[in-house]
Amino acid sequence: YFAIALGMCIGIEPSKVKKLGLNIEIDSDIPVACGLGFSASFSSCLSALILILNEKIQPELFNSFYPLINRWALLFENFFHGKSSGMDNACSVYGGLIAYKKGSFKHVLCSDHFNKIKFLIIETGKKKSTALAVKTITNLRLKHQAIIENIFSTIGIVTESFVDVVENTEMKKEDFKKNIRTLLKVNQGCMVALDLDCHESNSISLICQKHGFVNKITGAGAGGVTFIMMCQEDSIEDYEALRKEISFNGYKNYEVQSTCAGIILK
């Protein structure tokens, strides 16, 4: 299947793949199939590798070939999900914070408030399926089209508002924290309304609320991971108490930075 995919995508014949003796090693710090974009990261790296082997891009000009890598990464993503939005692979290739809408995206110029945020990733322990989530939404939309479309419109407004807040360099720290938390809470509420939350995520939500934090399930929801954002003004004691209780309840968790580079060649 891999050889056939290469031939379909970028013209590498199965015989050439065999001649190359391709051996791919994967080292990942994130769990698979939980809403953190593992398939997109894999697709992006695989696309870059195959394009280099097929002499479609020059390693010394690697960064200038991001658009090409991204296009092929999307095609590989479709092998995993049937029809991918293209958002995850764009984030994997270009890095940073990206606002994505209907096939187009832009880099968000983040304020210092956002750049200093810590993200706490919490594993629900429940495996997710993007295909199943899509099926759930499709069925809901057939029965309640107007309601579902209004929920999606709300998610769109929340996203645009989030970008406005993140880019605002004049907003006070407390206002930034309050606005971000409100938007996350509304977005999470939309996921619940779309039946894309899960029991484990809901349990984590109750723990977060107890300690003054807001969590949001990632990806297509229905399992995988959820996250919280720790702002500069948050109490270290409250944050540590939150992590302690989450760990006590059996949920793995780890910190990540808010923005990082995309695909790189070493």
Most confident of 36-40, 46-50, 53-57, 168-172: 168-172
Residue 43 has a CB neighbour count (10 Å cut-off) of 27
Q: 208-258 pLDDT, tens per residue?
A: 999 999 999 887 767 778 899 888 778 899 999 999 999 999 999 988 876
> Is pLDDT larger for residue 34 or for residue 186?
186
> Is pLDDT larger for residue 186 or for residue 109?
186
The span from the CA of 228 to the CA of 218, in Å, is: 10
> Is pLDDT larger for residue 29 or for residue 197?
197
Q: 87-118 pLDDT, tens per residue?
A: 888 888 888 888 877 767 788 878 888 888 88
Return all residues near 44 (Cβ < 8 A) that are at least 6 apart. 69, 70, 73, 89, 92, 93, 262, 263
Question: Exposed, middle or buried by CB within 10 Å (0-12, 13-18, 19+), for 163?
Answer: middle
pTM: 0.76
Return all residues near 183 (Cβ < 8 A) that are at least 6 apart. 158, 161, 162, 165
One-letter amino acid at 123 equals E
Calculate mean pLDDT across residues 187-195: 90
Calculate mean pLDDT across residues 124-147: 85
Unique residue bearing structure tokens 């995309």: 262
Joined together, the tokens standing for residue 13 give 């014949």
Confidence of residue 38 (pLDDT cuts 50, 70, 90): confident
pLDDT of 151 over the 90 cut: yes
- The domains found in the chain, sorted by start residue, are 1-94 (3.30.230.10), 112-257 (3.30.70.890)
Q: Do 261 and 126 touch, CB atoms closer than 8 A? A: no
> Is pLDDT larger for residue 202 or for residue 37?
202
Confidence of residue 34 (pLDDT cuts 50, 70, 90): low
Looking at residue 88, its pLDDT comes to 82
Q: Give the CB-side neighbour count of residue 91, counting CA atoms within 13 A.
A: 21
Unique residue bearing structure tokens 């995919």: 5
